[in-house]
Structure 1
């Protein structure tokens, strides 16, 4: 099955997000039964509208001012690396767009083929994040304008709009998720401060909205409709909904917060991620990698989502549970095996969400994980997270981590070190 589109804004998220009151629906069950697609469609999120289309997922001007004045060595080093080794705009504009039908092999059966097929996709994500980060680090509008021009080239070529999807072969659909939110989040960083380029920005926004709309037409199979892949789609929907002042799309993003809180167990676990068995800890953390940026985007629109509770549970409970099982796998109880895969503890990209949450709530519990990881970078979900979020008083120098300690941590968990 192939999906295509041609800048049709009327194809935005169907206006099904209306109906019965949220409180009535969510209070009907204190169990961990996941919201069905039908129940999610009935959520009345009409109170959520885009209030500030220029609000990114962090305060750009405030952060840029801080970075120019800081004497924090870690932030200064990251800033100088980006500013002094900045990308060539011409080289970035020479990167070919992807206009042929995307069909990506599965990772687990054919990892080598998957790696080869996804290289140009990852290059796109790195490029948009790099240009946005270089703009923040340098303050040079040249890089902001370059990002607009780069995305405009893809928009004019109708790139990424043609992809193969079958529920047994969803990899192209999965891969597009991160490409869309990488583009949306990076663009949100530069858009407010690019003077001129009105036509280019208009084409970019129309393309982003259509790309998101076409992708959202597919609800996914039994699991991907409602697990971390739903949160990934909600991340781009919330950001692009804001950028294009598309309230329905923004509400789709917000619906992930309600769904996650509804589905959460008393412990704070996401049940569908617990079904991953030995990778339950990884996927609890992975879900937060997308949910926390959605929370930040929604909070930046003026909504106190961190205070939101469903059945007495908030997103703080999910965060606490993630830390509990990272520190001590026995906290999983009967939800998953205690013998957990923790190799992801060696990869900083999975902890961009912690940098965001740490900055907002000054949660020092994260520091043992974050300190040796910094500077943290995720090419899609947050970009240069340490540069954008870390408080200047938290850490001033790189931590040269003991490789033996890191290996032990990756195999035994945090509490055993």
Structure 2
């Protein structure tokens, strides 16, 4: 697949004009990884790292306790992260709890094979669906944080649901309510276009695309699916010769962080699309593929001077000490050999990200890749933040 890129960053109108009619949902029951195949591999693995994760997740949470968590059915308002990180973290706590809950239930099902956790997840999501949760959030172009925060919540719910839905027999009414709820959430949320040269088209667009693709698959909705696909075309179109995402380079001292952050959403999105049978990882626009963005990210992480004139060379690198920011690397390495990425992951595994793939090491790591964590103590010392902004 080869496309010619425009000389300007792709606008919303240009995205809407893309002919993506070749992209349709082909496998509505496909998750973002082959769940059955992975569970069979985990049942016979002797990899100590994976066995430790399996042991920790196999005795999962109490469904009764989880069903007592109240759905977020009132209007969500959240302060900005950078001006008020403490207030942001406090108010966001129930949102994070939701994401961790659905991720834990999906992970516990994969680790144990116990359908109890799959049925519990459906009961949990159905409770939120019946309450019309997450449908009310405050949005203003100057105060978009609640809109941002619900982006990853929608995907967290959809990706966890995709892991268990096909395995759970019956519960047709609950599944239909969840399908309808996720679809309404996705359409309402993506109807906000975002700001020009900012949230319309940068990492936040990629995050909206991620839930759109997954919900599109689950509900067999080609419009949502194509919205998700359009983010990949947009990102590759906007990419510089070096592989940089220009709107992320605008973040100054956090340019490297946001180049990585963009990949945190783009790579799992491409994984979902690929699971529908499309060669999206080899999509080429004006000679660039996603591999160029990956290689540029590694280059500037290792040596920020390679940013050149794109951004200041004094860069914030704290994100490298928090495994959640590396979740995309685990997914990418399941498809491509990249020794430099492997080095990043060796001291940080197992990787978990509540909003971008859950227990990605459990789901994607080749058992031959690594047998032990570097040390749990080192991992805990390296963790800077509890949650993503």
In the superposition, the TM-score normalised over structure 2's length comes to 0.96
Say yes or no: does 1:287 pair with 2:265.
no
Q: Deviations over 1:249-274 (max 9, x none)?
A: 00000000000000000000000000
- 1:379-407: CA deviation from partner (whole Å, max 9, x where unpaired): 01010010000001000011128969x87
Aligned: 1:81 with 2:56: yes
Report the Cα offset of residue 362 of structure 1.
2.5
Contact 1:372 1:401 (C-alpha < 8 Å) held by counterparts: no
- The CA distance in 2 between the partners of 1:28 and 1:173, in whole Å, is 30
1:162 equivalenced with 2:108 (yes/no) = no
Q: Distance in 1 between matches of 2:62 and 2:338?
A: 38
Contact map agreement 1:270 1:318 (CA 8 A) in 2? yes
Distance 1:48 1:403 in 2: 44
Q: Secondary structure at the match of 1:361?
A: coil
Q: Distance in 1 between matches of 2:112 and 2:317?
A: 36
| Counterpart position of 2:315 | 340
* Paired position in structure 2 for 1:413: none
Match of 2:360 among 385, 393, 406: 385
Contact 1:35 1:263 in 2 (8 A): yes
Deviations 1:210-265 (A, max 9, x none): 01111011001121000000000000000000000000000000000000000000
Structure 1 residue runs of 5 or longer lacking an equivalent are: 1-21, 411-417
* Aligned equivalent of 1:150: 124
Where does structure 1 differ by over 3 angstroms across 4 or more consecutive aligned residues?
401-404
Corresponding residue for residue 225 of structure 2:
250
1:202-217 aligned within 5 A: 202-217=176-191
Query: 1:276: which partner in 2?
Result: 251
Distance apart, 1:367 and its partner CA: 1.8
Structure 1 residue matching 2:334: 3-state secondary structure = helix
Structure 2 CA distance for partners of 1:320 and 1:101, relative to 1, 3 Å: same
**SS of residue matched to 1:95:** coil
Question: Is the 2:249–2:310 contact (alpha carbons within 8 Å) kept by the matching residues of 1?
Answer: yes
- CA distance in 1 between counterparts of 2:65 and 2:195 reads 39
Residue matched to 1:92: 66
1:385-404 to 2 correspondences below 5 Å: 385-400=360-375
Q: Secondary structure at the match of 1:394?
A: coil
Distance in 1 between the 2:64 and 2:174 partners?
Answer: 17
**C-alpha deviation, 1:369, in angstroms:** 0.8
Q: What is the 5 A alignment of 1:11-160?
A: 27=4, 29=6, 31=7, 33-84=8-59, 86-160=60-134
Q: 5 Å matches for 1:163-242?
A: 163-222=137-196, 223-242=198-217
Q: How big is the alpha-carbon RMSD for the aligned residues of Structure 1 and Structure 2? A: 1.7
Matches of 1:261 and 1:155 in 2, distance apart?
Answer: 35
Q: CA deviation at 1:372?
A: 1.0
Conservation of the 8 A alpha-carbon contact between 1:274 and 1:283:
yes
Contact 2:5 2:286 in 1 (8 A): no
1:361 positional shift: 1.1
Quick one: distance in 2 between partners of 1:337 and 1:170?
27
What's the counterpart of residue 414 of structure 1?
none
Within 5 Å, give how 1:315-334 maps onto structure 2. 315-334=290-309
Q: Deviations over 1:107-154 (max 9, x none)?
A: 122222211110000000000000000000000000000000000000
Q: CA deviation at 1:105?
A: 1.1
CA distance in 2, matches of 1:77, 1:401: 12
Q: Distance in 2 between matches of 1:318 and 1:308?
A: 13
Shift in Å at residue 170 of structure 1? 0.5
C-alpha deviation, 1:318, in angstroms:
0.4
Q: Output the CA distance in 1 between the equivalents of 2:265 and 2:183.
A: 19
User: Alpha-carbon deviations, 1:283-338, whole Å to 9, x = none?
Assistant: 00000000000110000000001111000000010001011111111111111111
| Aligned position for 1:302 | 277
Q: Equivalent residue of 1:172, what SS?
A: helix
Q: Distance in 2 between matches of 1:28 and 1:386?
A: 35
Stretches of structure 2 lacking an aligned partner (at least 5 in a row): 385-389
Query: Greater shift after overlay, 281-290 or 106-115?
Result: 106-115
* C-alpha spacing 1:155/1:306, structure 2 compared with 1 (3 Å): same
